């Protein structure tokens, strides 16, 4: 089993590495960067489990730190090609940008399994009732041939029509 962890927040990074040490997981690859649609530097707001590249996410104030950002394709390259891959993505509102930097990963064979936390109407910055990138985020997966489901209901299938209604504030699960 190969594990690659990506974590830009200094506090979270220290906790991650301490947890790995306590559990003797010394063969884990830890990359201290954020993921997005291009390489560069960007402020991350807030801290801990709510740290986000989206200003105002989950009510985070103006406290920020500058972090390195890279794409998943650049970080992982072809190293996982041909392997079964599980991607667990919790990027606090930055899902679309992270996916835009994962073209090769999204199209790998075999196709990776993805668990992605996408907030519909929770934790949005002030003035936003619904995630403004909701439809486009799901479209990335649908366009690559993936099916989406609710984590709480493995038998569910999320259609483009479902996502569209949620984006309009209707029938939010």
pLDDT tens for each residue of 1-60: 789 999 999 999 999 999 999 999 999 999 999 999 999 999 999 988 889 999 999 888
Q: What is the pLDDT of residue 38?
A: 98
pLDDT tens for each residue of 111-158: 999 999 999 999 998 888 999 999 999 999 999 999 999 988 989 999
Q: What is the pLDDT of residue 22?
A: 97
C-alpha 13/C-alpha 144 separation (Å) is: 31
Confidence bin at 166 (pLDDT 50/70/90): very high
Helix (H, G, I), strand (E, B) or coil at 14: helix
Q: What is the pLDDT of residue 136?
A: 97
Sequential DSSP letters for 121-173: SSSPPTT-SS-TTHHHHHHHHHHTT--EEETTEEEEEE-HHHHHHHHTT-S--
Long-range contacts from 160-166, C-beta under 8 angstroms, 24+ separation? 160/135, 163/134, 163/135, 163/138, 164/135, 166/120, 166/130, 166/134
The yes-or-no verdict on residue 61 having pLDDT over 80 is no
Say if CB 39 and CB 63 are below 8 A apart: no
Copy the structure tokens of residue 79. Answer: 């190293």
Q: What is the pLDDT of residue 169?
A: 85
């Amino acid at each position: 089993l190969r594990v690659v962890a990506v974590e830009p927040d200094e506090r979270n990074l220290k906790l991650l590495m301490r947890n790995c040490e306590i559990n003797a997981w010394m063969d884990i690859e830890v990359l201290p960067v954020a993921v997005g649609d291009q390489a560069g530097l960007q402020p991350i707001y807030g801290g801990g489990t709510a740290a986000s590249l989206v200003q105002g996410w989950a009510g985070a104030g103006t406290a920020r730190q500058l972090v390195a950002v890279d794409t998943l394709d650049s970080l992982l390259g072809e190293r996982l090609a041909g392997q079964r891959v599980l991607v667990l993505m919790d990027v606090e509102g930055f899902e679309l940008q992270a996916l835009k930097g994962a073209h090769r990963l999204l199209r790998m064979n075999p196709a990776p399994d993805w668990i992605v936390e996408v907030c519909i109407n929770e934790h949005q910055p002030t003035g936003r009732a619904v995630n403004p990138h909701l439809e486009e985020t799901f479209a990335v997966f649908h366009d690559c041939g993936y099916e989406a489901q609710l984590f709480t209901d493995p038998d569910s299938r999320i259609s483009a029509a479902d996502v569209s209604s949620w984006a309009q504030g209707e029938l939010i699960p």
